[in-house]
Structure 1
């Protein structure tokens, strides 16, 4: 976030020399319990217990109220927010003004004189137009969305919550994470507060805000169902990183690029895909975690491209079968099968056969999680890597390389 704020200040002092783009090519990628009366013997036990309680001094209603409020507050905290999750209005009101509708237009361009003549005789083909969502992340007019929302677009138009419309400039894209950054020139822009997705917990309440089926600024609720999901939607793109936050909040075509926020209205991720046999919501949606978004967006704003950090290793997931086969003393983590000469891992002292189980105090259980945590760092950053080497556990300092 510091990188984003720093870049905003730098750009605020520079004239804007970029030309405008617009459009969209893409759409979504995959996009009370009740109790029965107990037996008689149980009732008798309760009667005996009641006699003992009756001897204790009774609390007045005023004395009971603070305890009840404290217990209710703790319950709300455990369920993902500072207030009871039955009312998400405060979080929705906080984030909705920072969510935008992204309209992408792809205009047909003749590739030869023959095509030009054909168009003169029979007319120009209709423009392709589709919509998605985006999130304002800075006062300077920066908007994050999905790469597939604007891929191939010749024009991009952004509609704000207050219905103002602006042509958007394409700042940069990162197909390996399916993220893109746009910029508009507009006064008095709201922006959303960013969270730390490493602290997001499974079971925590979240809201998805976007524009499904052109139903602008729709809010749906659900919980975080899983973290570190790889659903193989980015294909064989170079250095692709898939470590999605999975949620059951309803997400549909048009939600791509929209906000996933926690119960406090802080941005947790960017909604990107759904797993479905029908093309519409079927209970599983996926968002790019905000810590990875911060890194990608910061680089695109500063350099126009992403400078990615690498470990310099060949790796694979560890499970109980693999651990038994290799004689490992851990049943999950990331197995180092090969080291690249001159790579960060080899320089740090990691050896072939080590199992990486943590980065900077965060547990690492899979290749997806490791890629996310390394992908959110910059080349030159030093991280503390926890590895299992036989029965020993080591912590090594590693300086990441590009």
Structure 2
């Protein structure tokens, strides 16, 4: 099944099944109520001034609403709908519609459309209010290096169309950051994507087919999706959130948010046999996006730590007996490069890295992401399986000289 930046129409809807749909709706509403209506316990300074909490239900409001709906059989559904409407209303002004026009190799005009989300960097938010748009690199990549022959137009919720002052991009994650002149618009706050669990409700916002600030509802279907063939070898940092919230052409770069209005992902691609939305979408986790955002603004590029090893792509279930594992996890070292952190720490060929810090390593791509997200220079504890024995070792990560997957 191909994976691609979202393209094409949705499948036809099935005939209504009134009793089943009503029962499912009530259950879904009950879940949404439990997850997202009573925000009062979370609406404090510890939430970082989250924009979507500014007008959430107070304890008294929630009590009155519950009281008013006590005699209504659809009460859970109505409560859930109120939660979604409130978060959608507060988050939608942060969504940006993007149009990128550039010249192709033959000199013809090409137009790419996508979405983005307004955010601020904590370092500058209180100093000069710098405002940024976070989006996918593939939405704006055509305009790179074509000064004077290309343009990026950003259509904002206040009705204005602006152009970025500056653009930063990162091929390895397919992320881009665009700075715009400060405006009186709400910027979304980052959530903790690691805290997401399978089954959590999420909303995807964007401009599918050019329809500004559309909202779709779904759940987190899976986490840690890697090795997706997205048509480019440059995308080496893959750790996607999978969701069934509808993602279509124009949604690329738009936000995936939780029911408290926090950014938990950047919508990037779909899996589809028809080219349309089939309920399998992929979003870049907010924690990865936040690190890239910080690196681009601080250093102008993304500095990535590395071990200095080449990992074994052929490490599979057939290899378990030879290394003494009873289940498949970890990443096997194939080559240790000289004068690298791995060499200095004493890593050897055929060592299997089982743990990186406190995290169990699932596979080589998981290890690559864990290393890449670790600050350059940080000392990390590894657990390595060598000749049937688990060996702890500590190494200090240095900066990767080139962005290649051969680590």
C-alpha separation in 2, matches of 1:396 and 1:90:
50
Q: Give the C-alpha shift of residue 330 in structure 1.
A: 4.3
For each residue in 1:78-125, what CA deviation from the matched residue of structure 2 results, as whole angstroms up to 9, or x when unmatched?
A: 9xx9897554223323322211111111157998xxxxxxxxxxxxx6
Structure 1 contact 245–286 (Cα < 8 Å) conserved: yes
Aligned residue for 1:175? 171
Distance change in 2, residues 1:75/1:316 (3 Å): farther
In the alignment, is residue 273 of structure 1 matched against residue 273 of structure 2? no
In the alignment, is residue 97 of structure 1 matched against residue 93 of structure 2? yes
Q: Give the C-alpha shift of residue 73 in structure 1.
A: 8.9
Aligned residue for 2:239? 243
Aligned residue for 2:76? none
Aligned residue for 1:29? 5
C-alpha separation in 1, matches of 2:312 and 2:257:
32
For each residue in 1:296-331, what CA deviation from the matched residue of structure 2 results, as whole angstroms up to 9, or x when unmatched?
A: 111211222221111111223654332134443542
C-alpha separation in 1, matches of 2:175 and 2:32:
36
For each residue in 1:338-376, what CA deviation from the matched residue of structure 2 results, as whole angstroms up to 9, or x when unmatched?
A: 211122223233333232233332232122222222222
Matches within 5 A, 1:3-402: 29=5, 76-77=34-35, 87-107=83-103, 127-138=109-120, 139-153=129-143, 154-230=150-226, 231-233=228-230, 235-237=232-234, 240-316=236-312, 318-402=315-399
C-alpha separation in 2, matches of 1:309 and 1:105:
35
C-alpha separation in 1, matches of 2:199 and 2:312:
28
Structure 2 contact 99–112 (Cα < 8 Å) conserved: yes
Structure 1 contact 156–169 (Cα < 8 Å) conserved: no
C-alpha separation in 2, matches of 1:235 and 1:330:
31
Structure 1 contact 171–301 (Cα < 8 Å) conserved: no
TM (normalized to structure 1)?
0.72
C-alpha separation in 2, matches of 1:278 and 1:188:
41
Aligned residue for 2:68? none
Q: Which one has the largest radius of gyration? A: 1
Q: Give the C-alpha shift of residue 149 in structure 1.
A: 0.2
TM (normalized to structure 2)?
0.71
For each residue in 1:380-400, what CA deviation from the matched residue of structure 2 results, as whole angstroms up to 9, or x when unmatched?
A: 122333333354434433211
C-alpha separation in 1, matches of 2:132 and 2:177:
7
Distance change in 2, residues 1:395/1:108 (3 Å): closer
Structure 1 contact 243–288 (Cα < 8 Å) conserved: yes
C-alpha separation in 2, matches of 1:104 and 1:136:
17
Q: Give the C-alpha shift of residue 377 in structure 1.
A: 2.2
List structure 1 segments (4+ residues) > 4 angstroms apart after TM superposition: 30-33, 72-75, 81-86, 107-111
Worse overlay, 281-290 or 380-389: 380-389
C-alpha separation in 2, matches of 1:257 and 1:240:
18
Distance change in 2, residues 1:147/1:203 (3 Å): same
Structure 1 contact 106–155 (Cα < 8 Å) conserved: yes
Distance change in 2, residues 1:264/1:368 (3 Å): farther
C-alpha separation in 2, matches of 1:243 and 1:92:
26
Distance change in 2, residues 1:133/1:73 (3 Å): closer
Q: Give the C-alpha shift of residue 76 in structure 1.
A: 2.9
Structure 1 contact 329–390 (Cα < 8 Å) conserved: no
Distance change in 2, residues 1:319/1:30 (3 Å): farther
C-alpha separation in 1, matches of 2:244 and 2:231:
21
C-alpha separation in 2, matches of 1:189 and 1:389:
55
Structure 2 contact 257–263 (Cα < 8 Å) conserved: yes
RMSD (Å) for aligned C-alpha atoms = 3.0
Worse overlay, 389-398 or 293-302: 389-398
Between Structure 1 and Structure 2, how many residues are aligned?
321
